Every structure is written in structure tokens, then in C-alpha cells.
Structure 1
Amino acid sequence: MWLTVSAVAGSTLTCTLANQPDEPNAPVKHGDFVTVDRAFLIDIDWAAPERAPPPTPRREFWDRCLVDHCVLEGEPIDYLYREDPDMTREGDRYSDSGWRIRGSAAAIEVDGHGPEYIALGKVLNQDDSWLPLIDAPIGAAFQRGEDGAFYPAD
């Protein structure tokens, strides 16, 4: 969708839809007013680039982690902890973050695959509910509660 911004309040943009969506059953149409958070935009073409605010820096998550295969198949994360990174090998472009990410014991048993050493971003693409914890220090551990939130584990 293309939007024409008419007002800005913090990160909230009030816009007019500047094109007709391709989806025939879209709930909005050309000319409708919409409100969006700037974080949901991919790019902005500023009418006056010299007056545009500085872009929001984007963080990339290439550092590696060990994750149960079942999590990559859509199983929710059950437990995660951060230990001293020990998987990085000489010459690796991206280092081990120390994160170890587990699915439920039942899902791991059914899955039958071992853990995978992959980029944190791939895990976040499956389940980003733990993103606020990503900078937790080494030694941190979290268990998902019945309400879906993560709590410090003992």
C-alpha cells in the first residue's frame, strides 16, 4: 500500500491510502484515512527529505544460537537461557550469542531432530515473543508461563 502522510504524532502517522489495494476484499480503499505506526512501514519517500527526521536504526540478528528444531517448525518456545558462547569457530562471520532456545519436552520428543545452530533472526521470525529479553546477560534463563509471558526461571 502507498500512503500519503497528513499528520505525525510521535511514531503514529495519519495517512490517506494513495492506491487501490490488490486484494479485492481489502477493508480499505483508495482515499481512505488510516493510522499506522511508523515501525510498520518499509520505506518512506519524503516530499522534503531535508526536513525528514533521522531514520530509525534497524537492528539485525545474525549472531547464532542453538534452537530445538521443533521451534523452527512453529512450536512455541518453552524455555530459553543464555550461557557463555562456546560454538563460535575461528573464521565464523557471526558469533555465538550464547542463547539456547528450547521447545516443550513433548514437542522435542515427537520432533526427533536435534538442535540447530542458526541466526537469532530465524528464530525471531518464528516466535518473536522473547525479543524484549534478547539483551539479557549471560546466566539469564526464562520459562514461558501458562499466560504466554516469559518469567525468570530458577
Structure 2
Amino acid sequence: MSWYLDNAYEKNAQFPYTFYIPSKQVIDKLSIGDIVKLRFVNGTKEDGLAGERMWVEITGRNGEDFRGLLMNEPYDLKDLKFGQEVLFKAKHICDTEYKDPRSSDWDYYFDTKVIVSTDVLDKREFNFMLRDTPNGEEDSGWTILSGYENDEFVNQPDHFQYISIGVILNIDDSILKFIDEKPMCAYERNNKGEFYNIQNYDWHSYLNS
């Protein structure tokens, strides 16, 4: 068999704020006739990234074990066909048609945007954050830096990206304790690895730079 089912629980453990899995309340209510989404991975691809998310209709359930019928036509998986029976477990389910009690959390992780230095994404580390007045509904107002950027770097617009806050939370979710701080605040990481509020941050220089 050239494909296998991705373990959604493992992916969520690796990327807890950007890889959604249904809550236990949703999994517990699944029964025959319900439709769930699984990620079928092409095992012939070395990087394991060539996956297809497809819907499966549940035809049987025994605890954490399920069977169902594939409801989509695969694009790149040659030995998998529409209507084929698939055996899977709860850990393979990455979406359902039910409204999730935790949906508001996930909306926040995906829809709330931050400006981030590409150096943060390269290093997977950030040590400085400041919050200006948000510009629009999705904009949080936060700008996030690694702390290693120099003036030449920060003066290049293409060195910054506008991304979902969940990507940053995957790196360090300790910032959740102050992420709702009112605009015009700045935080820096100390030598203990903890963020502290910079009480006398020079906002005049920042706003006029």
C-alpha cells in the first residue's frame, strides 16, 4: 500500500496552535453516518508532506476504532479509490462536520495576525514584542522580533511577514498571559528566559522612526 493515515494527535502535539484536532466532546459523539476528515499521506514521497485531506463516511465504530467509505476521489494516490473502505482510529481524525466547543480558540489562533521578523521564523526564537494600535479587525497590533536584527535588517520591508499568531504560539505560548495587554506596550525576554514589561519604552522614537 503506497499510502498511510497521518496521526493527527502527533501533529497537534508538534504544532498545538496551528494543527487542529477535534475536541474529545466531538470525537465522543461520532457515529455511523457521520463524515470525518482524514489525511492520507503518500508513502512514496520521501518528505511525507504530500498528503491529501479527504472526507470519509463512518460505517462502523468500536470505541476508538472506525471504518468508513472514502467520499472523495484521490488526486495522487493511485491505489485508493472513491467509495473504498478505510479502517482508521480516532487519532487519525483531523476534522468533522460538528461545531466544536473549542472553535472560538481556534478562530483566534488562525485569524489573529501579527507582524513577525523573518529572523524569528528562521531561528524559531523571539525575544522582543511590542503592541501598537491594531490596524483592522484581524490585526493584533503586535510586532515580534528575535532581538538579533540590526537597523539595516529592520529597514527592509521584505524581512517581515504578516502571519497567524498560532505560528508564534507554537514557538512559545508563555506570551498568552499578556497577549491581551492594551496597545502601546512592549515586552522583552530576560536572562531567565521570561518576558517582562518594559515600563519606559521609547514610544516617541518608535512612532517617529
Which of the two has higher C-alpha Rg?
Answer: 2
Gap regions ≥5 residues in structure 1: 1-21, 23-40, 48-54, 89-93
Distance 2:196 2:164 in 1: 23
1:57 deviation in Å? 6.7
Gap regions ≥5 residues in structure 2: 1-6, 8-21, 30-100, 201-209
Task: Confirm or deny: 8 A CA contact 2:127 2:147 kept in the other structure.
Answer: yes
Q: When the two structures are superposed, what TM-score results if normalisation uses the length of structure 2?
A: 0.41
Aligned to 1:101: 144
Task: Confirm or deny: 8 A CA contact 1:68 1:108 kept in the other structure.
Answer: no
For the pair 1:130 / 2:179, whether they are aligned, the reply is no
For the pair 1:70 / 2:119, whether they are aligned, the reply is yes
Aligned to 1:114: 159
Q: 1:149 aligns with which of 190, 194, 203?
A: 194
Give 3-state SS (helix, strand or coil) of 1:105's partner: coil
Question: Cα RMSD over matched residues?
Answer: 3.4
Task: Confirm or deny: 8 A CA contact 1:78 1:143 kept in the other structure.
Answer: yes
Q: 1:106 to 1:67 in 2, by over 3 A?
A: closer
Task: Confirm or deny: 8 A CA contact 2:189 2:195 kept in the other structure.
Answer: yes
Q: 1:127 to 1:72 in 2, by over 3 A?
A: farther
Q: Which amino acid aligns with 2:193?
A: G
Q: Which has the higher helix share?
A: 2
Q: 1:43 aligns with which of 5, 20, 24?
A: 24
Give 3-state SS (helix, strand or coil) of 2:193's partner: coil
Q: Which amino acid aligns with 1:105?
A: Y
Give 3-state SS (helix, strand or coil) of 2:24's partner: coil
Q: Which has the higher contact order (CA 8 A, sep 6+)?
A: 1
Q: When the two structures are superposed, what TM-score results if normalisation uses the length of structure 1?
A: 0.53
Q: Percent identity?
A: 28
Task: Confirm or deny: 8 A CA contact 2:130 2:187 kept in the other structure.
Answer: yes
Task: Confirm or deny: 8 A CA contact 1:77 1:101 kept in the other structure.
Answer: yes
1:119 deviation in Å? 1.3
- Report 1:81-92 matches (<5 A): 81-86=130-135, 88=136
1:127 deviation in Å? 2.3
